[in-house]
Amino acid sequence: MSNTVCKNCSQRFEGAFCNYCGQDARVKRIDRTYIVDEVTNNLFQLNRGLFFTIKELTVRPGNSIKGYLEGKRKQYVKPLSYVLLTSALYVLTTHFLGLNTFFQDFTAGFTSGVTDEGDSVAAGILNILTWLTNNHTYTVLLTLPLFSAASYLAFKKSRYNYFEHLILNMYITGQQMLIYLLASFAVVEDSITEAIPSLLGIAFSFWAFYQFFGNYRPFVRILLSILTYILFFLQLIVLMVIGTVLVKL
């Protein structure tokens, strides 16, 4: 296979793949066999990548994400795909199995405990909070940039930039979706068990951070993880106040 002209970029190359663009030397015509092979291969690869990613994030979350950032990326499902895939799985499964979505009950209880004071800012914030928790999966996805800003600020002295924090939190959130999904089966309505999924999810993020930020002393890692959540909620509160005030103007 010497001196082939690449059908993609017209460069001459030797070997099985073009060394300019990576195109296969043997380009077959697109027909039924090609499509069947293509679909099977893609599904197989996605499957293999998905199982590998789930396994790694379950067994050694922080270390595997660190490895991903350092360049061991080929075997993993990409972070955004992963978090979207697991979120969809969570939303669809809980919807079709009619599983108890703990966040909704949590807010319902919270809302009934506070008397609606008409047009006050507190009532406005409560309305936003209710919407956010009723759509908690979207909320989690939409607030990922904020959560990442929080972890970035808390762990400022680590060598990771904001976008690496974003990747870290996408993988953690993706894994949390699977935890929520499994934990939903253990939830009994109107009981203390409703807190199980969130607690497990938070515990997981602490564990992942603990492994990931191995450069810090153990005690500091835990403190900074707590600080991350505090900074995150502060940002949410500030945004909700601003939003409510703007709406009232």
- Chain residues that interact with Zn ion, rule: CB under 5 A: 6, 8-9, 11, 18, 20-21, 23
Least distance to Zn ion, CB of residue 9, Å: 3
Least distance to Zn ion, CB of residue 41, Å: 21
Q: 11 or 42, CB closer to Zn ion?
A: 11
Q: 15 or 214, CB closer to Zn ion?
A: 15
Q: Please answer whether residues 94 and 101 qualify as being in contact, where contact means their C-beta atoms are separated by less than 8 angstroms.
A: yes
Q: 10 or 215, CB closer to Zn ion?
A: 10
Q: 21 or 188, CB closer to Zn ion?
A: 21
Compute, in degrees rounded to 10, the torsion defined by CA atoms 194, 200, 205, 209: 140
Least distance to Zn ion, CB of residue 26, Å: 13
Phi then psi for residue 17, to 5 deg, are -135, 145
Least distance to Zn ion, CB of residue 29, Å: 18
Location of structure tokens 């991350």: 228
**What's the angle, vertex CA 36, arms to CA 35 and CA 40, rounded to 5?**
115
CA terminus-to-terminus distance, the chain: 72
Compute how many other C-beta atoms are within 10 angstroms of the C-beta atom of residue 121.
14
Least distance to Zn ion, CB of residue 137, Å: 42
User: Token pair for residue 49?
Assistant: 């990548």
Compute how many other C-beta atoms are within 10 angstroms of the C-beta atom of residue 106.
15
Q: Are strands 4-5 and 12-13 parallel, antiparallel or unpaired?
A: antiparallel
Partners of residue 11 on adjacent β-strands: none
User: For residue 225, which of 168, 184, 183, 175 has the smallest C-alpha distance?
Assistant: 168
Position 197, amino acid: P
Least distance to Zn ion, CB of residue 28, Å: 16
Position 18, amino acid: C
Q: 18 or 179, CB closer to Zn ion?
A: 18
Q: 23 or 198, CB closer to Zn ion?
A: 23
Q: 19 or 120, CB closer to Zn ion?
A: 19
Least distance to Zn ion, CB of residue 200, Å: 48
Q: Please answer whether residues 65 and 209 qualify as being in contact, where contact means their C-beta atoms are separated by less than 8 angstroms.
A: no
